[in-house]
Chain A
Amino acid sequence: MISGSAAAGAGGLEPILRLENISVALGGCPILAGIDADFHSARVNAVIGPNGSGKSTLLRAILGAVPRASGRVLLGGREAERFDRRELARAIALVPQDTHLDFSFRVEEVVLMGRYPHLRPLERERPRDLQAVEEALRRLDLLPLRRRDVTTLSGGERQRAFIARALATEARLLLLDEPISHLDIGHRLDIFKLLSELARGGYTIVVVLHDLDFAFRHADRILVLDRGRKASEGEPQEILESGILEQVFGVRLAKLPSENGPHFTWKRVEK
């Protein structure tokens, strides 16, 4: 990561992301206050919280895209601020929430953007860059769609193109901002299958989620945010049993009797 793509690509490094006392204020309004969190490699880490709890801002703070009022972001023990911009882009990749595009890039052109942090301003793509693009396209089953205009793709296909772009950076830390919110159930499951595979392959996944079902079923670890503060952090089972969801979301998991065993559903509780 530090010496560039070769080290990151070789997988000799497992970036462990540590947040220390992260506070962010926008326009005088505190958005995040004193967040401490560790994200380990080879795990799917979910970040959940009600609307306005600061989930997306947390991702921005990790990327340095919003000014931090306090705190440190440590990547593999090194302060993120000490990375130059391109170096950081080779270490952390973002799959943005909004993948809508007004311009008719081809799928392979979008994925190639993942290689920009590896290239000097006027440098042409090297064979290694094209290889990384091929690999990312193959991994997301995008080879048949590579020449397609992204503006003609379905939401799920576009999401895959942006995940492929993130993989093409060869960063081992992937941030995903609500990657499933516009997808149908089948595509949601596909995305989580992929995220689990990536995590097993040594990637560190940090995924912001609105859907609690998916968070609890597919994440290895969960960070709960509430009005800019860390409400809880732990294994899904611990979080479920701690009763923190009632406080934060005002919901609880209720068991429904059924012939084929119990079914569960979320029930509103009075705060």
Chain B
Amino acid sequence: MSGRRWTSLHLLLLLLAMALGLCLGGDQVSSPIEIWSALAGGGSPDGEQPVERDILFYIRIPRVFAGALVGASLALAGVLMQGLFRNPLASPGVLGATAGGAFGAVLAVALRLETLAGLAVPGAAVAGTWFALFVVYALAAGRSRLSVLHLILCGVAVNTLFSAGTSLILTLSTDRYEISSKIIHWLTGALTNRGWEHVLLILPFFGLTLPLSLFLARDLNLLLTGEESAWSLGANLDRLKRRVLLLSALLTGGAVAVAGMVGFVGLVAPHILRLIQGPDHRKLLASAPLFGGTFLILCDLVSQRLIPPEEVQLGIITSLIGGPFFLFLLARERRPQ
């Protein structure tokens, strides 16, 4: 199939997932007819706004959009990272980006910054992500050439540091139940009560990054055949690495800010896509956001409907689905052809 057909197929699947999210989200199931009448604005004969309409407009629609954008951002960041590291096992977590974001958010929660400004916690998450990647970049770029191995090693170190910081804050907050439960909420990732302000928070990050990423497709393809080889065909490697890092920071920052730490999407989504449509980044960069969005909306639905009216944390669901699937892929790949 051509790249365009794949993109259309993925778009269709995303729209289906969004429709499912609207019908099945929350603790009650709505029929498509109910949804349609609420969307069309047909109130009851006595002129009152039906409560379904509010649920739809202020809870379900923003939640579905937020989910789509978070999934899209993580999947796109995953494609970029795996391309840069020439390793299908890389993900935004490798460079400490998610750990940095989580640390920022957790610190803000512990300091009760959300009482000062509504978006203090997401803002701190973005700052944490950027700070982590900045530290990694500054350490790795100290050499004359930006070496991928060096980046990974710095990422491991930064990851460890931020995770330790997060654990420390969590330990110090155990006697304050309210704060520690919020922290755990962040660390496992969720889309509960995400409204339009969250959609507006992540939208510029994603909207800015997607078109810029598409420009990197060919250079990322070349990089997969080796650095020297890529250089000989005109790829500007240092510039490419800087751009991939910057774009991944924007994407991961936005995603962590809205949903906390949602694991495995950035790892599994690109991997699945590569298996079904090949490693060409011109196709991957277009379809990964659509596929990631679909995947996250469906995971979010499972998290809402598994044991209603309780919600299971989204990050637990993505890991429960993504982890075994990933193991399956690895086992399948290793089988001799």
Which A residues contact B (CB, under 8 angstroms)?
Answer: 60, 63, 65, 67, 85-86, 88-89, 92-94, 96, 98-99, 101-106, 109-110, 113-114, 116-117, 119, 121-122, 152, 162, 169, 175
Contacts and interface: CB of A to CB of B under 8 A. Distances in A.
Please classify the interface of chain A as helix (H, G, I), strand (E, B), loop, or mixed, using the class held by over half of its residues: mixed
A103 B88 contact: yes
Interface residues of B, number: 25
B305 interface: no
A169 B233 contact: yes
Interface string B271-310: 0001000111000000000000000000000000000000
Contacts of B337: 152
B118 interface: no
B171 interface: no
Interface of B: 86-88, 144, 214-215, 218, 221-222, 224-226, 228-229, 231-236, 274, 278-280, 337
Contacts of B144: 67
- Best-surrounded residue of A86, A93, A98, A116 (most CB of chain B within 10 A): A116
Nearest to A63: B232
Contacts of B86: 102-103
List of 3 A-B pairs having minimum Cβ-Cβ separation, nearest first: A94-B232, A89-B234, A103-B279
Nearest to A60: B228
B222 A102 contact: no
A96 B221 CA distance: 15
Contact of B231 (A63, A67, A113): A63
B224 A103 contact: yes
Given A60-B228, A116-B222, A121-B215, A104 B274 contact: yes
Nearest to B227: A65
- Best-surrounded residue of A60, A122, A162 (most CB of chain B within 10 A): A122
A80 to B, nearest CB: 12
Given A105-B224, A110-B225, A89 B233 contact: yes
Contacts of B224: 101-103, 105
B279 A113 contact: no
Contacts of A119: 218
A242 to B, nearest CB: 32
Nearest to A109: B280
Contacts of A94: 228-229, 232
Contacts of A121: 215, 218
Contact of A96 (B215, B218, B225, B274): B225
A109 B226 CA distance: 15
A86 B218 CA distance: 13
